[in-house]
Amino acid sequence: MKIKNKSTLLTVLILPLSFSVLVLLNSCKTDPSDEILNPLPERPNILWLVTEDMGPYIPPFGDFTIKTPNLSRLADEGVIFPNLFSTSGVCAPSRAAIATGMYPSSIGANHMRTNSYTEVTGLPAYEAVPPSSVKMISELLRGHGYYCTNNYKQDYQFKAPKTAWDENGPYAHWRNREDDQPFFSIFNFTETHESGLFEPYGHRYIETRHYQAGDTTYTWKPDRMTEEETPVHLSKETDFSIPPYLPDNEVVRNDMWKLYNNIGEMDAQLGAVLKQLEDDGLLENTIVFFYGDHGGPLPRQKRLIYDSGLNTPMIIRFPEKLKAGTKDDRLVSFIDFAPTLMSLVGIKPPSYMQGQAFLGNHKAKEERKYIHAAADRFDEVTDAIRAVRDSQFKYIKNYRPEQPYYLPLGYRERIPTMQELLKLKDEGQLDSIQMQWFRETKPAEELFDCKSDPHELNNLADNPEYKAKLNELKSEMDRWLVAIKDQPNLPERELLNQLWDGKTTQPVTAQPNVETSGGKIKITCSTEGASIGYKVIHEDGIQSKKWMIYLEPLSISNGKKLLVQAHRIGYKASKAEEVEIADF
């Protein structure tokens, strides 16, 4: 394990003094220009701590059911954002938005599991295909000298090019970078995932006993623990607050216990990573983000684009506890993460990104007024729903009102609470609120006051008192759909035809061409927008550990080889091909 010289590690925060005042949060309506900071280096370290299926179930956001000492400390020393919304109620489309800065419904990424359920869709496996100019944000940062690691989940609706990460996997860690190299590191915590509510219940050894510290000698245990081995963070006698759309009985309460207990374990794992950061002397030199990949894991939460499926907590801790203990009520969308990351490290976001930076020296001049979301196919069932929300109201358009809201999805039906809902439905034991999800049809339009009706149960779309708000949000949705070239309810086969330009098979990235020019090695690829990666193979046959991004002609001595590969997102990668340098 390689630990760098702490005394020479890059001291980082956000931006130089000339820009730093623009980086600060407009927290609690405080003018950030009032802040006075010391001069700071230009490029920060960024650490993202990402959990799954996570509603605002933690003390910093008002739910004190489970103690989360590490997240609570992070919030005490940082800023909480209660109005962060994903672009989808499920993980892979939302991660596509984060990774590219483009709405999933604009790049063919919104059908959950585009590469599977082919027996149901009758389609071949496919990937999202963004415009040729689009790169993953990690690759963009690598091109600017950042060491980028992901530990360890990807799930973007497309395969990441080899050039996306310096390291990706269970051993990926900032500790493996070069001296003084700034880093962007993501750690993903899966304990809070929906699957933690069923088959078999228990935490994953891969995280629970040793949330890895870059130690490649550690041996992972692939099994899950039994319920008897599961760490207990909460008494089953706890008085849980049950949402009104779920029945209050023993089955649901046991799932609620699992939900909160999983959060307690996730907090412990997250604390281990923060301790590594602190042990390395980097806590005060790094901007730390915590957020979930969408809303909660329970039925009528995950996959839906009600707030229960979209809203997830975010905490940002700045060095020296800047703005510590404050709240920022601005609307923030996942689509804003990519431009904000670029802005924080002093890079102007590419024009193709569809969000806006909410921090940094390229911060948008105006705050976000609306967030947008979309739902299409989830595994084996398909719907077509779009939503737009302002700070108080949400408008939902159902493109398939003839379908019920609830669609039988096998994975979800493994949750005991889902099984209980279906049982009680068949027995006629659900009340009118709980039956809303099981209506045979759904209204074409819905409008909710999310402040007075946070569970979105009272549809105001036909109420004349709210006609002006309905029309405002409808107009905004129409604008957004045109702007991002979304085509709601487009048959998936037609979408695939568009993505593949009418071809019947997935496009393949052309083989890169290697040649010498002016005594240097030049690599090109005829596929527009392809990323080109290479490894050096030394005389002894040992390859470079990681794929480097080809950005400019190379100088490499004779007697060595290059391993080269090109890959455009959404296309199949070219073959990895060895090239003899001596031949040139």
Residue 577 forms beta bridges with which residues?
A: 564
Dist CA 222 CA 209 (whole Å)? 12
In this structure, which amino acid lies at residue 507?
P
Dist CA 364 CA 326 (whole Å)? 21
How many CB atoms are closer than 10 A to CB 502?
Answer: 8
Token pair 């959950």 in the structure block, residue: 112
Phi, psi of 489 (to 5 degrees): 70, 15
Quick one: which H or E segment has residue 484?
Answer: helix 467-484
For 468, residues 6+ apart whose C-beta sits below 8 A from its C-beta are none
Token pair 């949750």 in the structure block, residue: 415
Question: Which of the 8 DSSP states describes residue 456?
Answer: -
Phi, psi of 204 (to 5 degrees): -80, 130
91 is a catalytic site residue: yes
In this structure, which amino acid lies at residue 312?
T
Question: Which of the 8 DSSP states describes residue 551?
Answer: -
Phi, psi of 173 (to 5 degrees): -165, 150
Token pair of 335 as six digits: 């689509």
Residue 317 forms beta bridges with which residues?
A: 288
Closest by Cα among 150, 148, 151 to 177: 148
Pairing between strand 79-81 and 45-51? Answer: unpaired
Closest by Cα among 495, 463, 478 to 397: 478
For 506, residues 6+ apart whose C-beta sits below 8 A from its C-beta are 124, 126, 127, 500, 571, 572
Dist CA 377 CA 401 (whole Å)? 15
Question: Which of the 8 DSSP states describes residue 385?
Answer: E
The angle formed by the CA atoms of residues 203, 87 and 294, to the nearest 5 degrees, is: 20
Dist CA 40 CA 16 (whole Å)? 5
In this structure, which amino acid lies at residue 495?
L
Dist CA 401 CA 290 (whole Å)? 36
For 482, residues 6+ apart whose C-beta sits below 8 A from its C-beta are none
Token pair of 388 as six digits: 């737009």
Token pair of 233 as six digits: 């963070």
Dist CA 321 CA 216 (whole Å)? 32
The angle formed by the CA atoms of residues 475, 481 and 486, to the nearest 5 degrees, is: 160
Quick one: which H or E segment has residue 287?
Answer: strand 286-292
The residue from 91, 148, 450, 525 that is catalytic is 91
Q: Helix/strand/coil (H, E, C) string of 165-210?
A: CCEECCCCCHHHCCCCCCEEEEEEECCCCHHHHCCCCCCEHHHHCC
In this structure, which amino acid lies at residue 17?
L
- Active site residues per annotation: 91
